[in-house]
Amino acid sequence: MTTAQLAALDREVLWHPFTQQQGWEDEEPVVVERAQGTTLYDVEGRAYIDGVSSLWCNVHGHGHHAIDAAVRHQLDRVAHTTMLGLTHRPAIELARRLLDVAPDGLARVFYSDNGSTAAEVALKMAFQWWAHAGQPQRTGFVSLRGAYHGDTVGSVSVGGIELFHSIYRPLLFDSWQAEPGDIAHMDALLREHGDRVAAVIVEPLVQGAAGMLVHPEGYLRQVRELCDRHGVFLICDEVATGFGRTGRMFACEHEDVSPDFLCLAKGVTGGYLPLAATLTTERVYEGFLGRFEEFRTFFHGHTYTGNPLACAAALASLDVFEREQTILRLQAKIEVLGTWLARWVEPLETVAEVRRRGFMTGIALADFPLDARMGHQVALAARRRGAIVRPLGDVVVLMPPLSISEAELRRLVEIVAEAIAEATGAAPVCSTSAPPAWRTAA
């Protein structure tokens, strides 16, 4: 099939996620053919820097030899079996390894296959734990304004992004919404409703989908202390922040916090395959033990839970973290990313704010009319220059693979600065030694 035929068929049969299809059908799609390292190649052989890690997932680059080999090795054994009534080596070994790298106190791993279900599992476990503990009135949750925990109905119930979530209100259970970063407000909510709360759920340090909203230092630690004071669980959703994005393996580490539930997905397999895990404590686990007829079982499980290929990729990814000292080597890149953003992006008159923690970067554009779709225009301009970025409204997100080289990182920031200048009509700050927009594949 030619590129034009593929594009035509896409328009005929597909419906893309989080996409207004009416606009999609008017634009030329990038049809990705293959990828290597931090570069995506389309069917025409055009190359693009993967500026958002293929939606915040990829960690060590595409086509990493060690992860490729691990998946192939597992493929020669079994591609899928089940965790319902059976078990397998990669799931067992990965659980041990995840607990070894996770914050202290977490002792059990429950698998699922995406970030929404990782959050959903934590919510249901917390809720059911209290029912078993003789406090069935603890049915509520406290979440943060602007929170994003996924798209299933339970995870949307604790979501706080008006644009995505308000339409579904009648379908959802209620949760109390705290003002992010405002510990006094969290305190007030827990004082008033604490005895009816099962858990507080937060994205630690950075609320990704809210537009890379960075919490003030110490906030997470204070939330942990309030949860302890009021005897409620703390769920940390590290689906986006986990696996190095903030500069540490997990965002919780920055504030020495151990949650009662830790939700992992996106980066867990190095960005290769769908896998998620909800980690919890022995205390929570024990609350579900009992004779079969007591029905304390956690009645939840997805068909592809703990898929062996995905677990093999995740194990290999953890090996790469160790062998390549990914987190250590990331620190210098975090530094220079800050320098280049300050040099080329922050001075643009159409940039309102650059928010960042580690590699999680949100460039908030100045006010533009909604129908200008300025974030999208910037993404299109960046694409013409050889980088893929996906904005959140008018916040341009940069979140490249941790393995990106300094040269590629610099080029990515330059491209984005140029793209913002072009799309918004700002005077460009950087005069770059730009290589051709399209670097053709070898």
As measured in angstroms, the least distance from the Cβ of 235 to ligand PLP is 11
Dihedral sign for Cα atoms in the order 48, 51, 53, 59: positive
Contact region with ligand PLP (CB under 6 A), list: 174-182, 233-241, 370-378, 383-391 = 233-241
CA 307 vs. chain centroid, Å, equals: 20
Site mask, ligand PLP, residues 116-135, x = CB under 6 A? x--x----------------
As measured in angstroms, the least distance from the Cβ of 143 to ligand PLP is 11
Round to whole Å and give the CA distance between 149 and 206: 13
Contacts of 118 (CB under 8 A, 6+ apart): 112, 150, 237, 239, 263, 264, 265, 276, 277, 278
29 in Cβ contact with 388 (< 8 Å): no
DSSP state of 37: B
Round to whole Å and give the CA distance between 102 and 228: 20
CA 404 vs. chain centroid, Å, equals: 18
Structure tokens at 306: 């703990």
237 counts as binding ligand PLP under rule CB under 6 A: yes
Q: Which is nearer to ligand PLP, 62 or 266 (CB)?
A: 266
53 counts as binding ligand PLP under rule CB under 6 A: no
**DSSP, residue by residue, 240-302:** TTTTTTTSSSSGGGGGT---SEEEE-GGGGTTSS--EEEEE-HHHHHTT-S-GGG--S-----
115 counts as binding ligand PLP under rule CB under 6 A: yes
236 counts as binding ligand PLP under rule CB under 6 A: no
Q: Which is nearer to ligand PLP, 62 or 149 (CB)?
A: 149
Site mask, ligand PLP, residues 263-302, x = CB under 6 A? --xx------------------------------------
149 counts as binding ligand PLP under rule CB under 6 A: yes
As measured in angstroms, the least distance from the Cβ of 276 to ligand PLP is 7
208 counts as binding ligand PLP under rule CB under 6 A: yes
With CB under 6 A, what is the number of residues at the site for ligand PLP?
Answer: 15
Dihedral sign for Cα atoms in the order 240, 245, 248, 249: positive
440 in Cβ contact with 47 (< 8 Å): yes
As measured in angstroms, the least distance from the Cβ of 240 to ligand PLP is 3
As measured in angstroms, the least distance from the Cβ of 18 to ligand PLP is 10
Contact region with ligand PLP (CB under 6 A), list: 201-209, 331-339, 375-383, 432-440 = 201-209
As measured in angstroms, the least distance from the Cβ of 247 to ligand PLP is 17
Contacts of 422 (CB under 8 A, 6+ apart): 381, 428
DSSP3 helix / strand / coil % (the chain, rounded to 5)? 45, 15, 40
Q: Which is nearer to ligand PLP, 187 or 237 (CB)?
A: 237
As measured in angstroms, the least distance from the Cβ of 234 to ligand PLP is 15
As measured in angstroms, the least distance from the Cβ of 16 to ligand PLP is 14
206 in Cβ contact with 214 (< 8 Å): yes
344 in Cβ contact with 417 (< 8 Å): yes
* Torsion angle of C-alpha atoms 350, 356, 360, 363, degrees rounded to 10: -10
Q: Which is nearer to ligand PLP, 357 or 385 (CB)?
A: 357
Round to whole Å and give the CA distance between 91 and 234: 25
Contact region with ligand PLP (CB under 6 A), list: 78-86, 144-152, 319-327, 377-385 = 144-152
418 counts as binding ligand PLP under rule CB under 6 A: no
Q: Which is nearer to ligand PLP, 15 or 292 (CB)?
A: 15
39 counts as binding ligand PLP under rule CB under 6 A: no
Q: Which is nearer to ligand PLP, 287 or 400 (CB)?
A: 400
Contact region with ligand PLP (CB under 6 A), list: 112-120, 211-219, 254-262, 388-396 = 112-120
- Residue among 239, 330, 341, 396 that touches ligand PLP (CB under 6 A): 239
363 in Cβ contact with 221 (< 8 Å): no
240 counts as binding ligand PLP under rule CB under 6 A: yes
The amino acid at residue 121 is: V
Residues that bind ligand PLP (CB under 6 A): 114-116, 119, 148-150, 203, 208-209, 237, 239-240, 265-266
